[in-house]
Amino acid sequence: MRRDAPQKGEIGFIANDRPEAQEAFRALTDVYGNAERGEAKVIVALGGDGTMLDVLRDTMEHNVPVYGINCGTVGFLMNPLGDIADLPRRIATADKATINPLYMEARDKDGKVHTAHAINEVSLIRQTRQTARIAIKVNGETRMGQLICDGILLSTPAGSTAYNLSAHGPILPINSNLLALTPISAFRPRRWRGALLPYDAEVTFVVQDPDFRSCAATADSFEVRNAVEVTCRIDRQRRMTVLFDHGTGLEERILREQFED
């Protein structure tokens, strides 16, 4: 659905430190100004996918639509810079995707509880040369008594083309209402490739022998060292809106990713 094009002073721009992003920031703010965070009708993130994830986390409380412009490398969540003068029209006609983040609660070996949100995935990875040994619970019921591995991750549909895909996990359609549970270099069970879980599943990872086989829990880029128990679930109370140039929305990108090298 077409929305009103943002006017000068209604767009907030956030750029990473890369020279390309800073150059685009200067050019765009010269034309459109730079709205304060609480007053912007739309946020434009300048950088790569990492910048987009940071901006989405920072604006999560207010669910201001975010339009990304690629000044990085992969840019799966981003749009091309294009003609600066055409930016308001592109935003007005953009396809939107609504994303719920994962909520992570991780307890470390000292008993301290850490919380964070992840847009892509929550992962648990060994910290030492020893393999990790992890028990997996789904909705409070133990589904795997021991997974011997380098780690494991739980991915959202939006994040299924990121770390999850590198770990040979499945790509999930954005509206699939599924989560991908994917092992990282599983040794035992040797042929276990992971599982697809309902969107409302609560998953708990329990680290076995944490003093000898320590693990770090990560919610996107937020890391908890020496985690002993990690619980994660979708936070339906928080929504983020990502804008893509018309015809290149997230659903199309995820579908295309499955047929390209």
Total domain count for the chain?
A: 2
- Residue 5 placed within a domain: no
- Residue 6 placed within a domain: no
d(CA 125, CA 147): 12
- Residue 42 placed within a domain: yes
Please indicate, yes or no, whether residues 251 and 176 belong to a single structural domain of this protein.
no
Binding residues for NAD(+): 49-50, 120-121, 150, 158, 161-166
Q: Are 50 and 40 in contact (CB under 8 A)?
A: no
Spot the catalytic one: 4, 17, 49, 54: 49
- Residue 4 placed within a domain: no
Per-residue model confidence as pLDDT tens digits over 183-233? 999 999 988 999 999 999 999 999 999 999 999 999 998 999 999 999 999
- Residue 203 placed within a domain: yes
The pLDDT assigned to 3 comes to 65
Please indicate, yes or no, whether residues 206 and 135 belong to a single structural domain of this protein.
yes
Please indicate, yes or no, whether residues 125 and 214 belong to a single structural domain of this protein.
yes
- Residue 2 placed within a domain: no
* Other beta carbons within 10 Å of 23: 14
Please indicate, yes or no, whether residues 58 and 126 belong to a single structural domain of this protein.
no
The angle at the Cα of 158, spanning 40 to 78, to the nearest 5 degrees, equals 50
The pLDDT assigned to 261 comes to 62
Please indicate, yes or no, whether residues 16 and 95 belong to a single structural domain of this protein.
yes
- Residue 3 placed within a domain: no
- Residue 223 placed within a domain: yes
Report the CATH number that the domain containing residue 117 is assigned in CATH: 2.60.200.30
Please indicate, yes or no, whether residues 36 and 135 belong to a single structural domain of this protein.
no
Please indicate, yes or no, whether residues 168 and 250 belong to a single structural domain of this protein.
no
What percentage of the chain reaches a pLDDT higher than 70? 98
Closest C-alpha among 30, 89, 24, 82 to residue 51: 24
Active-site residue 49, yes or no?
A: yes
Please indicate, yes or no, whether residues 251 and 222 belong to a single structural domain of this protein.
no
- Residue 157: asked if its preceding bond is cis (omega within 30°), the reply is no
Residues of the chain with pLDDT under 50: 1
Please indicate, yes or no, whether residues 215 and 127 belong to a single structural domain of this protein.
yes
Please indicate, yes or no, whether residues 48 and 129 belong to a single structural domain of this protein.
no
What is the domain range of residue 164?
102-234
